[in-house]
Amino acid sequence: DAMVIQNPRYQVTQFGKPVTLSCSQTLNHNVMYWYQQKSSQAPKLLFHYYDKDFNNEADTPDNFQSRRPNTSFCFLDIRSPGLGDAAMYLCATRERQGQETQYFGPGTRLLVL
Amino acid sequence: AQSVTQPDIHITVSEGASLELRCNYSYGATPYLFWYVQSPGQGLQLLLKYFSGDTLVQGIKGFEAEFKRSQSSFNLRKPSVHWSDAAEYFCAVGATGNTPLVFGKGTRLSVIA
């Protein structure tokens, strides 16, 4: 089945130690998103790729970076995680020209010690 | 700017009872409207969506929602709730092009015996 896959599902890192979260998709969608979701809150958009065009939200900290080497894969890099970065990170995809529906992966739960 | 309001933070219903979750949106044109469900520790699963046409839309798991333009609402309903429906429910509004989804803050549903 076509889907959005996130690895790992759980990630533990140390304060200040760089960490990378990955997302892959078999939907062949052009748009990919990264969201941060803290407990009992709505997902907050960090950035998205429209093909290879990177779009950063204005309030996304510089500590968060992203890479999209090809259509299928997208990475979220946190350069120096702080305790406040502990959250669920959700990847989503959307067709470029479709019905605007976003399809979400299962998420990666990040714990910062 | 688009916005979504989910007035109820937490709702508790008895198994077998009917359910209605409220969602109000603000958007200048005809919006794209979505309901997503999130089980604990999981990603978001699309329940249903409205783009145009029939204002009563059917979704998965027995859910339906009705778009009422005059009330700027898109309420989610289910005639008989099952214990497995306990989860967080998010309403979201989108638009054409590159505009990101805007999520409501979510409604947590608890189901009691």
Of B45, B51, B100, the CB nearest to A99: B51
* CB spacing of A107 vs B101 below 8 angstroms: no
Q: Put residue A99 in one of left, alpha, beta given phi > 0 → left and psi -120 to 50 → alpha.
A: alpha
User: Across the A/B interface, how many CB contacts are shorter than 8 Å?
Assistant: 54
pLDDT class of B30 with cuts at 50, 70, 90: confident
Question: For residue B28, what pLDDT is reported?
Answer: 73
Average pLDDT, chain B: 92
The verdict on a CB contact (< 8 Å) between B46 and A103 is yes
* Interchain contact, B98 vs A103, CB within 8 Å: no
d(CA A11, CA B27): 37
Contacts of A48 in chain B (CB under 8 A): 100
**A25: confidence class by pLDDT, cuts 50, 70, 90:** very high
The enclosing H or E element of A19 equals strand A19-25
Residue of B nearest to A44 (CA): B103
Start-to-end Cα distance in chain B: 41
Q: Taking Cα atoms as reference points, which of B8, B15, B63, B97 lies closest to residue A94?
A: B97
Residues of A with CB under 8 A from a CB of B: 4, 6, 31, 33, 40-43, 45, 48, 50, 55, 57, 88, 90, 92, 99-107, 109
pLDDT of B52: 83
The answer on pLDDT for B97 being more than 80 is: no
Q: What CA–CA distances, in Å, run from A58 to A43, A48, A55, A74?
A: 16, 12, 9, 20
